[in-house]
Amino acid sequence: MIKMEFELYLKNLNIEFLKDHPLKDFTTFKIGGKARYIVFPRNTKQLVEVLTLAKDEAINYIVVGNCSNVLISDKGFNGAIITTVKIDSFKIDGNLIEADCGAMLSQVARKACEKGLKGLEFAVGIPGTVGGAVYMNAGAYDGEIKDVFEWAEVLDKNLNILKLSKSEMKFSYRHSRLKEEKMVLLRAVFSLEFASKEDISPLQKAIEFSKRRREKQPLSYPSAGSVFKRPPNNFAGKLIEDASLKGYRIGGACISEKHAGFIVNVEDAKAEDVRKLIYLAQKTVYEKFGILLEPEIQFIGEFETPLFMPENVQNRR
């Protein structure tokens, strides 16, 4: 594929894109090298068109949302990063919410709470898109996307459009069929319940969750949220703190003093700084407690620092 042909295609369809632009401008971590292209389709039709071209012409691509749960390599990405953030419409009809892939989950959740619908209060503080939330079965405060999920329209790896029900999504902890089979969400429908007079107001509950989040999480620094999945019957942050790593710094990255489950960008951190801290936390916790921490964040690009993987490790989840 000649580069100019791809650019011409995007221009002819009036699809916004950036060329050789730093990805750190679009990640909540404020980390990431340049991408050959960053593409911004405005609707699901354009998204399908761009993906079809990239697949047909063997262009390396990755679909992302708000980049709130990713670490992108300092080397960047030699291909097309296709972001869904402009595909952001949603509507509420009774107790059902239909949302496009790029709609911000926090905005969808807040609007639902304002209408007296319960079930998404946990999501008001989650900074990702609907697509990313379904992909990861995002959750907080004992709530998960699977609890309210009804059905979704998705693209399989061959770009066929499928409609998947909740039972077909294979939801589990921070996992879905989308992740397993490299599918792309186009839109999703959630089914909520109207709060009764006896219930705590959904909006009040959401406000309380947001307050707890501000108090416990290091929101004043760029990060990608919780770095590791929760180990069975334990907490990653507590294990890292008990391993005496709270506040440990490499380069511009630091294991948060406020919550050891977060790695924060305190001073122009590099992706390799973060990867080194991830490796250190995994290795130290495993050696002290025999528990292997599994990253929750997604990695894009090539990294020099590996993830820690001891021999003969059995998956516990």
From the list 226, 256, 272, 275, the catalytic residue is 226
- Whether 296 sits among the annotated catalytic residues: the reply is yes
Domain boundary among 34, 62, 83: 83
Strand order in the sheet with 161-165: 90-93, 96-100, 184-191, 149-155, 161-165
Contact by Cβ (8 Å): 80, 36? yes
- Whether 174 sits among the annotated catalytic residues: the reply is yes
Q: Is residue 15 part of a domain?
A: yes
From the list 174, 177, 230, 275, the catalytic residue is 174
Q: 69 and 100: one domain?
A: no
**pLDDT for position 313:** 58
**pLDDT for position 57:** 80
Give percent of the chain above pLDDT 90.
86
Q: 226 and 292: one domain?
A: yes
**pLDDT for position 33:** 98
In DSSP terms, 71 is beta-bridged to 299
Mean pLDDT of 145-167: 96
pLDDT at 290 over 90: yes
Q: 154 and 174: one domain?
A: yes
pLDDT at 1 over 50: no
**SS3 annotation, the chain:** CCHHHHHHHHHHCCCEEEEEEEHHHHCCCCCCCEEEEEEECCCHHHHHHHHHHHHHCCCCEEEECCCCCEEECCCCEEEEEEECCCCCCEEEECCEEEEECCCEHHHHHHHHHHCCEECCHHHCCCCCEHHHHHHHCCEECCEEHHHCEEEEEEECCCCCEEEEECCCCCCECCECHHHHHCCEEEEEEEECEECCCCCCCHHHHHHHHHHHHHHHCCCCCCEEEECECCCCCCCHHHHHHHCCCCCCEECCEEECCCCCCEEEECCCCCHHHHHHHHHHHHHHHHHHHCCCCCECCEEECCCCCCCCCCCCCCCCC
CATH number at residue 101: 3.30.465.10
**pLDDT for position 3:** 62
CA 314, distance to chain mean position in Å, is 26
**pLDDT for position 135:** 97
pLDDT digits (tens, 9 = 90+) for 235-260: 999 999 999 999 999 999 999 999 99
Question: Six-digit token pair at 76?
Answer: 């960047």
Q: 101 and 68: one domain?
A: no
**pLDDT for position 197:** 80
Contact by Cβ (8 Å): 116, 96? no
pLDDT digits (tens, 9 = 90+) for 8-29: 888 988 999 999 999 999 999 9
Tell me the residue range of the domain where 235 lies.
Answer: 218-306
**Tally of domains within the chain:** 3
Q: 170 and 234: one domain?
A: no
Q: 102 and 137: one domain?
A: yes
Domain boundary among 182, 206, 230: 206
For the ranges 91-95, 99-103, 123-127, the lowest mean pLDDT is seen at 123-127
CATH number at residue 281: 3.90.78.10
pLDDT at 317 over 60: no
Q: Count how many Cα atoms sit within 13 Å of the Cα of residue 90 in the half-sphere of its side chain.
A: 27
CATH number at residue 41: 3.30.43.10
Q: CA 202, 203, 207: angle at the middle one, nearest 5?
A: 120
- Whether 172 sits among the annotated catalytic residues: the reply is no
Q: Is residue 311 part of a domain?
A: no
Q: 277 and 301: one domain?
A: yes
Give residue 50's pLDDT band: very low, low, confident or very high (50, 70, 90): very high
Q: What is the pTM of this model?
A: 0.91
From the list 144, 241, 272, 296, the catalytic residue is 296
Residue 13: Cβ within 10 Å count: 14
